[in-house]
Structure 1
């Protein structure tokens, strides 16, 4: 039997990866686990939470899955991609999928484009229809500065383990990602030493790649990659 652990991103929650999780649940007999990292979810409470707690929570979930299932698939989105890479370096993982992994972050060019679109929609009175604005307005003012520092610490810590990853890996990245520059996918591919590596770019996707216009194609591609590894 197969256990599949999906790890969400910084300041997010399982909802960020829900379309992919639902697709895998509906099309496989795998056990899909999507834990909420400490302080995360719909109601953020990130005060005084260290990056170690995020890693430990994901690691505990992985250990539990490993004790119950013969094969383990690991999927990580954004910060979750870095946690997944660290876990893949430390444990036996049959297949690894990294979705917009935050090995590098902040694409200032795309942030400028996103802010321009928000400003334009604001002038037209269409902010309610701007997906970028609707997603990030809920987080403004509720993310402690220290939490951002902990995120940076996590990226720095996990990057040291990339060269130890040997699992087959699929890296998917959106070209319009405003948080993680799309060239990060090339960086991750170079650092990871797996023999089987696939890198895929989606022209219409922003950072929330599982919720974007390409989500159906992404879902099928992730499934095909994982299922191929099973055969």
Structure 2
């Protein structure tokens, strides 16, 4: 896998699989992973197929390739832990929900971080808001070499972190900070994934921690409300007031780590008590 940034933190008998977003990198999940590891969890940050390389590497993959990689990583994690949780950022949250829907006996709980079923945040330009049409354009062979370039604030409210991430991303180091834009064919695959997962949300019976920034610049809070309304399992909502889209590394990352650790620990404890009864 080009420029692999996958990480594993060894911990206890409960494990968390972390999934990055479209055009992103496992590094955007690393701080959350370290925090969960410090709380006693075994953590695996997976790298999605086609990511951390060139735009051509990404365009050569489909959403099924991304999901299959997540499923394989989850199965590997089961060989090291007794209880598996999954958490994802942006499109990674959609993939996490897909895994919970398809493998309900495997997934004990879900961290739904900045779920993106639709790009409708306040910083999305009018043309990009029509990106739900991209699957049709892809079928027609239109726009294979086109890309929606990332724009400030790049999902980050923290100006210091924004400067670091944008400099790395614009330098061309996709393994460290992801691609500087979203290729149209990859966005088309993301919308196909979202269309496939949306009607399957009712199959998600695992408890879900749904965390989303109120002022998300990429995906509005309506994405989180969609998940809360449609999943079958219990939900806990965390609305972040001082972050933008990249909540795993933005200003309230420590709060996200604390709430995620508490949520996963509570679910694991409840499962252990139920099994002992």
Determine if the TM-score, normalized by the shorter chain, exceeds 0.5.
yes
Corresponding residue to 2:29 among 12, 17, 26: 17
- The TM-score normalised by the length of structure 1 is 0.85
The answer to whether residue 237 in structure 2 is matched with residue 199 in structure 1 is yes
CA distance in 1, matches of 2:28, 2:68: 20
Query: For the structure 1 residues 48 and 229, does the alpha-carbon distance in structure 2 shift closer, same or farther, using more than 3 Å as the test?
Result: same
CA distance in 2, matches of 1:3, 1:128: 28
The answer to whether residue 73 in structure 2 is matched with residue 61 in structure 1 is yes
**Hey, what does 1:146 align to over in structure 2?**
185
**Hey, what does 2:139 align to over in structure 1?**
none
1:87-129 residue CA offsets vs partner (Å, 9 max, x unmatched): 111222111110011123221x3447x96879xxxxxxx9996
The answer to whether residue 111 in structure 2 is matched with residue 73 in structure 1 is no
Larger helix proportion of the pair: 1
| Unmatched runs of 5 consecutive residues or more in structure 1 | 119-125
**Hey, what does 2:133 align to over in structure 1?**
none
SS in 1 for 2:265: helix
Alignment of 1:24-35 (within 5 A): 24-28=36-40, 30-35=41-46
8 Å contact kept, 1:110–1:176: no
**Hey, what does 1:173 align to over in structure 2?**
212
- The TM-score normalised by the length of structure 2 is 0.72
Query: For the structure 1 residues 136 and 25, does the alpha-carbon distance in structure 2 shift closer, same or farther, using more than 3 Å as the test?
Result: same
Corresponding residue to 1:215 among 228, 231, 253: 253
1:196-227 residue CA offsets vs partner (Å, 9 max, x unmatched): 21011101111110110001111101101111
8 Å contact kept, 2:14–2:84: yes
CA distance in 1, matches of 2:255, 2:54: 30
| Unmatched runs of 5 consecutive residues or more in structure 2 | 1-12, 126-149, 173-178, 270-277
Query: For the structure 1 residues 88 and 116, does the alpha-carbon distance in structure 2 shift closer, same or farther, using more than 3 Å as the test?
Result: closer
CA distance in 2, matches of 1:62, 1:34: 10
Alignment of 1:120-139 (within 5 A): 130=163, 133-134=166-167, 137=170, 139=179
1:71-96 residue CA offsets vs partner (Å, 9 max, x unmatched): 11111111111111111112221111
The answer to whether residue 23 in structure 2 is matched with residue 5 in structure 1 is no
